[in-house]
């Protein structure tokens, strides 16, 4: 029996249409899934936002971007304005809380750290540097500078909030500049009103692109406030993904058609 004798295989055009029709839902879902993944990774730009007020309170929408580390219940908010970064930290503790970035490793080593706590009505916030994998010292004691330009904080029975501003690039050798691209960021807090109490499990690591307003940690929540606002690079991403998927579909269709032509050769 000739395998090429089936009447529906005679014209390549209907077959091409059938192949494209069959793969169209695939293209659609690939594009939707890609959009979902990109949104989940927080690959969106921040909208221009006014500089936050450093008053020890983080108001809804005050910062351009934020990341909530759900595993430890800690919030990191940030806005980049001119040559400065404004950072707001909030955690369920009455002890210290800290943010650090760009460890060279292992663990915390080489990391630029800002750590602070509130005792009474006073904020103790210091510019630190992780001088070993599990210890840190303040920049001044190491021969560097304290580069916090403004700061404020508040505390109630459950939460501590700290806000501060520093330059994106301080020039201090014990600081790490905030540059375009992703940074490894560490968040932690502990119950002690000091700079030494071990945080135990209240620590986490996240990859953050401060300038793009994007954060990524598997299983944790990252939602730049600017999602859907301002300039949105999601469009070009989607176009690239859609073009790629379309190219795959066209190539698959072409292969199938070519294969189909081969099948119609009469058997000897």
Nearest-approach distance from CB 93 to ligand HEM, in angstroms: 12
3-class DSSP assignment, residue 177: coil
205 in contact with ligand HEM (CB under 6 A) = yes
Per-residue contact string for residues 96-135; x = within reach of ligand HEM by CB under 6 A: --xxx------xx----x-x------------------x-
Q: Which is nearer to ligand HEM, 146 or 232 (CB)?
A: 146
Q: Which residue is nearest to ligand HEM (CB)?
A: 100
Nearest-approach distance from CB 132 to ligand HEM, in angstroms: 10
Spell out the alpha helix ranges (H) of 42-151.
none
Nearest-approach distance from CB 219 to ligand HEM, in angstroms: 15
Are 205 and 217 within 8 A, CB to CB?
yes
Q: Which is nearer to ligand HEM, 144 or 249 (CB)?
A: 144
Q: Which two tokens stand for residue 268?
A: 């000897």
Nearest-approach distance from CB 170 to ligand HEM, in angstroms: 17
Q: Which is nearer to ligand HEM, 113 or 118 (CB)?
A: 113
Among 203, 215, 225, 226, binds ligand HEM (CB under 6 A): 203
Among 29, 198, 239, 258, binds ligand HEM (CB under 6 A): 198
What does the buried/exposed string (b/e) look like for 72-99 if buried means 16 or more CB atoms within 10 Å of the residue's CB? bebbbbbbbeeebbbbbbbbebbbbbbb
How deeply is 39 buried, as exposed, middle or buried, from its count of CB atoms within 10 A (0-12, 13-18, 19+)?
A: middle
176 in contact with ligand HEM (CB under 6 A) = no
Cα 256 off chain centre by: 41
Among 188, 211, 241, 245, binds ligand HEM (CB under 6 A): 188
Nearest-approach distance from CB 131 to ligand HEM, in angstroms: 12
Q: Which is nearer to ligand HEM, 19 or 113 (CB)?
A: 113
What does the buried/exposed string (b/e) look like for 130-142 if buried means 16 or more CB atoms within 10 Å of the residue's CB? beeeeebbbbeee
Closest CA to 56 of 77, 72, 41: 77
Nearest-approach distance from CB 22 to ligand HEM, in angstroms: 46
Half-sphere exposure of residue 116, counting CA atoms within 13 Å on the CB side? 26
Q: Can you state the percent helix, strand and coil of the chain, rounding each to 5?
A: 25, 30, 45
**Interface residue list for ligand HEM (CB under 6 A):** 98-100, 107-108, 113, 115, 134, 186, 188, 195-196, 198-199, 203-205
């Amino acid at each position: 029996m000739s395998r090429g004798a089936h009447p529906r295989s005679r014209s390549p055009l209907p077959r091409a249409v059938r192949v494209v029709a069959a793969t169209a839902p695939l293209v659609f879902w690939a594009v939707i899934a890609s959009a979902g993944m990109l949104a989940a990774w927080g690959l969106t730009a921040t909208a221009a936002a006014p500089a936050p007020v450093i008053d020890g309170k983080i108001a809804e929408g005050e910062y351009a971007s934020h990341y909530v580390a759900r595993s430890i219940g800690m919030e990191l908010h940030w806005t980049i304005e001119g040559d400065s970064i404004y950072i707001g930290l909030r955690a369920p503790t009455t002890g210290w809380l800290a943010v650090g970035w760009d460890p060279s490793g292992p663990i915390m080593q080489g990391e630029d750290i800002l750590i602070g706590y509130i005792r009474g009505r006073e904020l103790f916030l210091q510019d630190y540097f992780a001088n070993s994998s599990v210890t840190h010292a303040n920049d001044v004691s190491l021969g560097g500078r304290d580069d916090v330009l403004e700061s404020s904080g508040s505390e109630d029975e459950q939460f501590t909030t700290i806000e501060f501003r520093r330059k994106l690039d301080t020039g201090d050798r014990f600081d790490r500049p905030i540059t375009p691209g992703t940074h490894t960021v560490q968040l932690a807090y502990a119950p002690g009103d000091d700079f030494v109490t071990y945080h135990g499990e209240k620590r986490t690591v996240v990859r953050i692109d401060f300038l793009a307003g994007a954060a990524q940690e598997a299983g944790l929540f990252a939602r730049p406030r600017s999602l859907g606002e301002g300039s949105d690079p999601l469009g070009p991403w989607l176009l690239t993904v859609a073009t790629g998927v379309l190219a795959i579909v066209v190539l698959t269709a072409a292969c199938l058609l070519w294969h189909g032509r081969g099948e119609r050769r009469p058997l000897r």
